[in-house]
Structure 1
Amino acid sequence: MTEGLFKEGIVPGRLPSGQYADNFSDLHPPFDRHEALVESDRCYFCYDAPCMQACPTAIDIPLFIREIATGNPLGAAKTIFEQNIFGGMCARVCPTETLCEEVCVREIAEGKPVKIGMLQRYATDTAMAQDKQFFPRAAPTGKKVAVVGAGPAGLACAHRLAVKGHDVTVLEAKPKSGGLNEYGIASYKTVDGFAQAEVDYILSVGGITVENGKALGRDFSLAELTASYDAVFLGMGLAGVNALGGEGEEAEGVRDAVDFIAELRQASDLADLPVGRRVVVLGGGMTAIDAAVQARLLGAEEVTICYRRGKENMNASVYEQDLAAANGVTIRHWMQPKRIVGVNGSTVGIELEYTAIKDGKLAGTGETITLAADQVFKAIGQSFDAAPLNGSGNSIALERGRIKVDAEGRTSMAKVWAGGDCVADAREDLTVAAVAAGRDAAESMHRTLTSNGRA
């Protein structure tokens, strides 16, 4: 550690300039050809494979691993992309330890699963490096579809529709496309600008026009889209962040974890990013882990995650929790925030109350503790903002504060589908689930558009 690390307050440059590149290097360096062949040889190629059943996009995992084993990584990539066009990013960020690898027969028998995620990355990276396109566009259908949101759900939907021959316009509020893949995932999980390289690869199929800086409710209305397009897909994700609801939340030094991660992802020089000496992160999901680990990698001396329930209740996987611990992050359970302690408007600490389960419900015990902190990150969940639907709330049914859809992604409004985090049954923080939702909605839209010409 250096002298700069011990500066009080929120300051940049806590580490030597050369250390940032090392700290934020690739979390899992990719397989080379030999490593991929050796690992693929461990697969039992199970009949009715449990790994495939555990995959939200139902990739034929035994098939693509066999294709790698026989020296055909491009064939493996095609098998992956047929089900998941974001196979490259999912190989990097998907919690395989709680999905396909958790149910791997090797894991059950030996405690060491086949490294499915690493093999998937090897195959998809090989295809992308050669700019190999597997899905040429079908003959034009003459149908136009609008997609709101250029995240995993929106772009997966757009790609599948474009392959079917439809013309797609994607409207994205942010300057860059990619959604959480670009703005919401830890830098060490997706290095070397991979998120944008993947977007470029997906868009290269043709038939997709992306308009950035276009927000629903500000630059266009849903009524305008339904009048101008044959079908509409809503994949705008979650715009709001849940409030702490405690005293002092507006103090300097308190910010949303998602904004911190987005700022870090877009930074040209990590040494310019200010970070506190003592950081507290509130929450128990992947966003909390990513914010905490990256604060530590930026040079924070002490980083503590505080979660209101127990370790087994955290949305972040045990693997991610262990990753945080390995990077010097302390995780404390059974405590909830009560107030931010401030001096002259700046954060100097946070008061938390211990919690327990009483009569089957989480409740405060009345006992409190105050932790020193000059920076507090809120990672206590995001909310869907229905206001941009431009008064369409009566036409689009909501459920639990999000858009209600049927099994095919249809909303209650004619011509409109939805998917990803903005829908009521979304599996939050899972890129792979958003991709599946966008893909499946596209298939439903295509069937409707080609069966009777109308949505």
Structure 2
Amino acid sequence: MNELSPVKPDIAHGRLGLDALARNFDDLHPPLEAHEALVESDRCYFCYDAPCMQACPTSIDVPLFIRQIQAGNPNGAAKTILSANILGGMCARVCPTETLCEEACVREAAEGKPVKIGMLQRYATDHLMEKGRHPFTRAPDTGKRVAVVGAGPAGLSCAHRLAVHGHAVTLYDARAKPGGLNEYGIAAYKATRNFAQEEVDFILEIGGITVENGKALGRDIHLDALRRDFDAVFLGLGLAGVNALGAEGEGHGGSQDAVAWIADLRQTTDLGSLPVGRRVVVIGGGMTAVDAAVQAKALGAEEVTLAYRRGREAMNASVFEQELALRWGVALRCNLQPKRILGQGGHVSGIEFERTRTENGELVLTGETVMIEADQVFKAIGQTFLGDGIAPEGAALAMERGRILADARRRTSLSGVWAGGDCIAEGDDLTVIAVEDGKIAAEDIHATLMANA
């Protein structure tokens, strides 16, 4: 095994000029023009059984909204979308439509070229947000008060649906801005021009929702007090913890969590001020890993390697995401498990990996090692639920696989407490599923409160 030759870490800001950065972080998919939307909507067969609709976790009536676009009624199309998914604008940008509605499209099966459902959804929702007004009216005040903890997709979805029903909602979030993953965790080229906050503002137009930022559960607010002071509580806490790599040398400078780095990138007003290594290694196989790798390239890193411990077919990142990384020049290296992070002077200088193979579905270490030089290492190996904030009363919350156990109505084991999104055991770490969780919980909360009125 050869050790890496001594090199000085090369991390710098301003690797690219402002024009190059603007191009690199522009919209991944430029929006459709009106004529393009009409042409694309004309490709839809308007299937009676609508397999695309069945594949949508929020059950958007896809044939209906596409027909409305075709008929020249994009605002009506947007209302159809938003009735099922109030975050339809963001989902149009970040949903893996290639593995959901578009994969189920009849044209995909027949031609290998599905209707661009996601792009049409964006066209309609953008049109309404830019030129229309909030399409829903709040019901008369019910006198009921609901606390929603977590202003991410699940919490926003739940809060909006409750407000529509006339309940007063207080939406708490630990961060400085609402939006959760949409604001802090999405690649900057997927949601450009402050869209996440524009969508939050649009959602809040319904009225009846009070937002309190900088309020963390267990520090500033407490579950027992919320249960006492409100008629119901919804927990949309997300996944605040990050899995440790468990490799020697993990504490070296330049080795950091990809989620935190993406959050910093999302909040910076000057992309040129964000330091990036000349040689970057991202460890992981999901969408966060791809987002980190592509954005490192977009900032000017010369060599970016995405290393994953299994084969490409096992990566959580979709084929589209993998191909996006390749188009950006990211090297995908599979069957490599990190063993040791090498450092010089307290700063990362490379990673020693051990080759793996799969035998009978199990990952096997081969004993053969590989070295990859790096100035910067991003860890994107999954997030975990931190339940410390729900103590002491939260001890009564049943857990499964380290997350909150919730039933089909998103009720937890604690009376008066619902939960949804990534923090629940059935959570699938997708924005669209979190939105559906919030919607389901809101409808059940509403039914419960009205039954007890």
TM-score category (smaller protein): over 0.9
Determine the structure 2 residue equivalent to 1:89.
90
In the alignment, the residues of structure 2 paired with residue 100 and residue 16 of structure 1 have an alpha-carbon distance, to the nearest angstrom, of 38
Match of 2:224 in 1: 223
Unaligned runs of 5+ in 1: 1-6
Deviation at 1:17, TM superposition (A): 2.5
- Does residue 46 (structure 1) correspond to residue 44 (structure 2)? The answer is no
Supply the RMSD in Å over aligned alpha carbons.
Answer: 1.1
CA contact (8 A) 1:152 1:435 kept: yes
3-state SS, counterpart of residue 18 of structure 1: helix
Partner of 2:124: 123
Q: CA deviation at 1:61?
A: 0.1
Asked whether the 8 Å contact 2:144–2:167 carries over to 1, the reply is yes
Structure 1 length normalisation: TM-score? 0.97
Give the structure 2 partner of residue 370 of structure 1.
371
- Take 1:365 and 1:299, find their aligned partners in 2: how far apart are those partners? 34
Residue 242 (str. 1) matches residue 243 (str. 2): yes
AA partner of residue 136 (structure 2):
F
Q: Is this contact kept in 1: 2:253–2:347, CA < 8 A?
A: yes
Moved more, 55-64 or 123-132: 123-132
Secondary structure of the equivalent of 1:341?
strand
CA distance, structure 2, for counterparts of residue 452 and residue 211 of structure 1: 28
Query: 2:298 aligns to what?
Result: 297
Offset at residue 131 of structure 1 (A): 4.1
Q: Is the 8 A contact 2:9 2:349 kept in 1?
A: no
| Contact 1:338/1:352 (<8 A) preserved | yes
Q: Which residue of 1 aligns with 2:255?
A: 254
Deviations 1:120-164 (A, max 9, x none): 000000100124211100011000000000000000000000000
* Aligned residue in 2 for 1:79: 80
SS at structure 1 position matched to 2:104: coil
> Would the aligned equivalents of 1:57 and 1:83 in 2 still touch at CA under 8 Å?
yes
2: CA distance between counterparts of 1:277 and 1:186?
A: 20
Q: How does 1:135-174 map to 2 (within 5 A)?
A: 135-174=136-175
Q: Which residue of 2 aligns with 1:67?
A: 68
2:447 is matched with which residue?
447
SS at match of 1:80: helix
User: Partner residue of 2:4?
Assistant: none
Corresponding residue for residue 58 of structure 2: 57
Structure 1 residue ranges (4+ consecutive) displaced by more than 2 angstroms after TM superposition: none
Other-structure match for 1:176: 177
Q: Deviations over 1:341-364 (max 9, x none)?
A: 001101000000111123431121
* Contact 2:282–2:379 (CA under 8 A) maintained in structure 1: yes
Q: Conserved in 2, the CA contact under 8 Å of 1:26 and 1:190?
A: yes
**Secondary structure of the structure 2 residue equivalent to 1:443:** helix
5 Å-filtered alignment, 1:362-441, equals: 362-428=363-429, 430-441=430-441
CA deviations 1:269-305 (Å, max 9, x no partner) are 0000000010000000000000000000000000000
Query: Hey, what does 2:20 align to over in structure 1?
Result: 19
Q: Report the Cα offset of residue 376 of structure 1.
A: 0.5
| 8 Å CA contact 1:131, 1:201 repeated in 2 | no
Where do 5+ consecutive residues of structure 2 fail to align?
A: 1-7
- C-alpha distance in structure 2 between counterparts of 1:359 and 1:130, whole Å: 56
Please tell me the residue identity of whatever aligns with 2:332: I
Tell me which residue corresponds to 2:188.
Answer: 187
Partner of 2:264: 263
Change (3 A) 1:61 1:282: same
Counterpart of 1:280 in 2: which secondary structure? strand
Is the 2:277–2:301 Cα contact (8 Å) retained in structure 1?
A: yes
Q: What is the letter of the counterpart of residue 365 of structure 1?
A: T
Corresponding residue SS for 1:450:
helix
Structure 1 Cα separation of the partners of residues 133 and 311 of structure 2: 46
Q: Distance in 1 between matches of 2:166 and 2:279?
A: 54
Following the alignment from structure 2 to structure 1, what is the Cα–Cα distance between the partners of residues 78 and 87? 11
Q: CA deviation at 1:19?
A: 1.1
| Cα deviation code 1:194-240 (max 9, x no counterpart) | 00000000001000000000000000110000000000000010110
Q: Give % identity.
A: 66
Query: What CA distance in whole angstroms lies between the structure 2 residues aligned with 1:271 and 1:10?
Result: 13
Residue aligned with 2:189, SS: helix
Letter in 2 for 1:436: E
Query: What is the one-letter code of the residue matched to 2:121?
Result: Q
SS across alignment from 1:370: strand
